[in-house]
Structures are given as structure tokens and as C-alpha cells.
Structure 1
């Protein structure tokens, strides 16, 4: 019996202990993938490359230490930038231009707004262009823009309104916004100027004595929209067909909103202004004039309570970043205090033909090698890529119970191989004593 056989067994058992100990040490490491030791027997070859039927093996060797890329449990964390991959794929990181790949999705925002891991590596993905559209094909560092969302002036308003056909003309005349008895129905809509200042568009509806006819009065902030020095509202007649549908005639209306060919109203030349301490209005620094299209094409006159059932406008005030969310397809969506949301990027994932060929780089990262093949880059939940779980992390896939059993097995193997060396030593001593 050769000492080398026993020594190779001791080395193998020691390697198994190292791997098992490393697995146990990383049982709580996010995104960690356990390893296993794979052994192979050894045989001495003859000069001709063949061995006889009575050849005895010369021990054991470590064939490989392979990582097990099985799915770990996904745990919710509540942190908006924590991400877990459910399925295939790796996050792509940039270490000063060098690509790394990881399953650990604990990310943060650094002082510059870049999304990084604990080692400062940048998370890679697809950014947006100046129009807010996601770019594709070119990986870039993902970042969070914390600057305020620029305001947008209102240019379009749509309203769905019904006016009660059974209503009677007010007993008080003429119309006065201060006298609720001089009109039948009113509602208001917030509109915004070029600086994001909110103004109130007020619309009043007065039933005429004439059948199927109303008058709409329009103010902004209680004054004439085109002349803030005047409290006289814009006035438009509204007529309806026998079936209650809105009937219009396109053209300019003296003292009122112009009617476009499609039946929408045009508020051209609105002068955004601010109220002064003396009750008058003056320029607030916004654009001198603005144009708004008012779509009331769904206006009806039915025998039902006057009501506004739908309303929308496209302007908004400036907004500060208030929240960040990640979808299962990796889209990063920023929510602002003005209620608006913007997609600011999309996380990219990488997959490999042979994940076992990846080279561990420490920090729960891997590097591409010739054996792994080149990475296939894509977005989550497409093709063979897994989906993302937001505000979650993937736990280590180490089975602690199995590793403890492996410890017992490795210990037994070590003791058994040590016994072969002890036996060989005893035989050697006996042989020496015979001489």
C-alpha cells in the first residue's frame, strides 16, 4: 500500500471540508450559489498507455469544484432598489468598464444618483432618450435623476358633461358668478401656465328660455381669460338637437371662445396672471399668452342631473421625485409629487450557454470566460430571461442540513484515509524489524 494513496484521500477530504465550510459560511449571503466537490479516481499508465487487469488505482484527485445555480428563496425587503431574479439570468455590473455578473440584487443610489452595489459597481441597463423613450442595444450605467420634473403648460382639456334638459331658466338675470341663483350648473378645472402655476378654469351654465339652448360663461381665476383686468366672462351659446346631442357652428364668437371645425372650443390668447394685494391681476412671469383647446364634443342634454362624468387636462406643475418602483420586466419608474410618472430606465440581464464556465470574482460576482461563452443580453421576462421581483432579494441556495451531513461524511473520509496511512506505517515498521 502506498502512502500517496492515503495522502490523496486526505487531500480530497480536506478539499471537501473546505467547500462545505465555505457553503456554510455563506448560508446568509444574498445571491450566493453553493458549490460541490467532484472527485475522480487516478490510475498510473504504462509506457504504452494501457494498464493491466490487476492494476491498482493510485488514489483520488479533485476533478472540479462546481457551483450549483439553483434558485434561492426570494424574500421581500421593502427597499425600492432591491431586486431579485426569479429564473435565469444575472445582473450586469460595470467595474470601471470591466463587466461583472451577479445574482445579488442589493442596489443603492450613490451621491451622483448612479445605481450601484455595495462595492460601487454600476448596474447596467437601458436608459431613456430626451423624449423619454427607452433606448435599446447599448448598455449604460443606470442612474436616478433627482432634479425636479419640469412643468408643462395646459394646452388641451377634455370634458364629458350632461346638462339637465328639465332645468328651467334662472329667475335671476343677468348672470353673475357671485350669485348662485343666476346659473344652473358650474364646475372648475385646474389649468397650468408655463411656470407650473395652477389657475382655476371656471365654467358656468345657464338654461335659456329657448328650448334646447344654454349659455356657457368661462373665466380663469374669476376674470376674463384674455383680459385679466376685466371681470366680464367669455360667453358662448350652446344648442342641442332633439335627441339631446350637441349641435355647433364653427367660427369665431364675439366675446366668447372660438368654435373649431371639429366642434372643440379654442381659448386663444389666455394671459396667465397673478392676483395682486389690491385685487387686480398682473403678469406672473409666465408666457405672455397661451392657447388651450377645450374638447366638449361629448356634451349632452338629457333628462338627468347636470353632472361632469369625465375630465382631463394635459398640464401639470413642477414635481419632486417621491418614489421609485421596478416592474417585473425591469422598468424603473419614477413617481413625482405632482402625480406624474416617468420611466427612467430598464434593467438588463445576461445569460450564458454554460454558467458552470463562469469564473468566481468574489463579492458574489462572476466573470465571463471562454468556457462560459459570450453573454446573451436581454430584458427581464423575455426569451429565456427570468422575471424581476421588486423590493426583494434572492437568498443563498445553501441547504444547511445537507451541508452538515456533508461535514460528517468528509470527517469520516478524512479519518478513514488517515487510518490507511497509519496502517501503511505499521506495515513499514514491521518490515523494517524483519531486516
Structure 2
């Protein structure tokens, strides 16, 4: 029995090592969120058995939980580099009729050849409609639209675009050559009843699940939604020092369980050799 108990310890230590290794490997991945393995003991006994005379039967992995802690904000001075300070995610949608919606805190956005704002995976940034004063006029899924940067002023195509700005509240403003500025949308921020229930997709993207609940959309800097910083990116929240200490601890646990198996094997061999 000790062999199987220690074997479960080896598997648990291996899972811990894999989780820590993934954290360390993504220390420079923009907006990456570290994970932590959680463990529980295994215990079983018969209904009439005295539990004070029964040892545990090992350990099992309860889950690998994501840690949605704020990462360090790094200044880039690029207007479409956006960082969230606080809670919430950017909303992006893949191109096509069957496009899927996902959520990310990686705000490294750029403009494609069709003037749509896209992220590092090519998904388009979603915005909410605003009025001429910059007030959001809709926050439902049906109100989401792809953000497209205009080349000219909608009311006068002879006036060209001069620059684009993004406020802390996520309002995207287009400044034209005649000096006027018009809001063209508000960055669609999403939040969830349970962030821990989000399903990872890779590339610092997540999608909603039954555990997380449906996305709730709103404007930045309001209630559940953090502010948006233009010209900045959120770095990984991995603390390399903490991870290396955890790596040493996991390695020791692995070695200890391997030693327990070795000791159990030696005891078994001793018993077998008693008659000789």
C-alpha cells in the first residue's frame, strides 16, 4: 500500500512541477496569468472501521487554478497598446460568420489593411456604441461591433484623419485635420461572476463557460471594470523568485516520495529473504 501512496505523491509532485514550469516559461508573455496546483488527501475506510487506525492513501490533484492578479504595467508609448488597471477583460472576436468571442488582457492591438483594430491573434477588438458626447448607449452582446479606424471624417470625406486617442474610460476618439475630435466607440470591457471558471484558450485568451457565467459588458472605469491605460501593456504576473522557490520545494517533494518507494522496496526484499 505504501508503494501506491508514494506513487500518488510522485504524480502530484510532477503536476506541481509542470505547473511551475509553465509559469516560468511564460514569465515574459504579455498579460499571462500564472496558475497554482491545489491538492487534497485521499482517505477511505469501511463504515464499521475505526478511522483512528487507518492511514491515508495518498494525494490527488484537486485542480490547477488560475491566479488573476494584476501584472506590472509597462509603458510602450504606442496609442493602441492598452492595459487594464483593475478588473475586466478586453473583448475580441475572430473574423468570419462563425467567429467566436474571447476575452483577453493582452492589449497589444494594431490596425490591419482594412483598418480594423486586431490583437496578436488577428481577432478584432469589440467596442460599444457611443453618442456624440461619448456616453455609452448599449451594453448587450448585440451592441458589440468591430472597431474600424476611419481614414476620413464621416460627415466630410475631404477631411483626413490626424490621430487616434483612447481615454481612461476606454472612449476612442478620432481627431481630424480640421481640429475636431469625434468619439467612434468605447472599448467593450467584460467581467464575469467567476473569473476562475473561465476556460483557457492559449495566447492569453479565455472564453466563457458554465462555471464562469456569461460576460457582463460595460465601459472602463465604472464599477466592475478597471480603467484603460493607452500606451502601456500588462506584463505577466509571474514572480520568478517565488516560482523558483516553489520549484525547489516541488523537487524536494518528488525526491522524498521517490525515497519512500525505494525504502518500501527494500523492506519488501528483506521480508522475502527472511527464509534464506
TM over 0.5: yes
Aligned residue for 2:196, secondary structure, equals helix
Residue deviations 1:343-382 (CA, integer Å, cap 9, x gap) = 1111011111111111111110111111111211110011
**Structure 2 partner of 1:382:** 222
**Structure 1 partner of 2:118:** 116
Structure 1 residues 29 and 42, CA gap change in structure 2 (3 angstroms): same
Residue deviations 1:21-46 (CA, integer Å, cap 9, x gap) = 11111111111111111111101242
Divergent runs of 4+, >6 A: 129-133
**Structure 2 partner of 1:363:** 203
**2:242 equivalent to 1:431:** no
**Structure 2 partner of 1:409:** 249
> Structure 1, unaligned stretches of length 5 or more?
152-316
Equivalent residues in 2 for 1:25-424 (5 A)? 25-46=25-46, 48=47, 52-96=51-95, 97-127=99-129, 135-137=137-139, 138-148=143-153, 150-151=155-156, 318-424=158-264
Structure with the bigger RCO (C-alpha within 8 Å, sep 6+) is 2
Residue deviations 1:242-283 (CA, integer Å, cap 9, x gap) = xxxxxxxxxxxxxxxxxxxxxxxxxxxxxxxxxxxxxxxxxx
Structure 1 residues 79 and 51, CA gap change in structure 2 (3 angstroms): farther
TM-score by length of 1: 0.59
Contact 2:45 2:54 in 1 (8 A): no
Structure 1 residues 364 and 430, CA gap change in structure 2 (3 angstroms): same
Aligned residue for 2:173, secondary structure, equals strand
Paired residue total: 269
> Structure 2, unaligned stretches of length 5 or more?
none
Contact 1:128 1:134 in 2 (8 A): yes
Deviation at 1:339?
1.5
Counterpart Cα distance in 1 of 2:235 and 2:187:
20
Higher helix share: 2
- Give the structure with higher Rg (CA): 1
Deviation at 1:406?
0.5
Aligned residue for 1:320, secondary structure, equals strand
Contact 2:136 2:219 in 1 (8 A): no
Contact 1:149 1:320 in 2 (8 A): no
Counterpart Cα distance in 2 of 1:335 and 1:51:
78
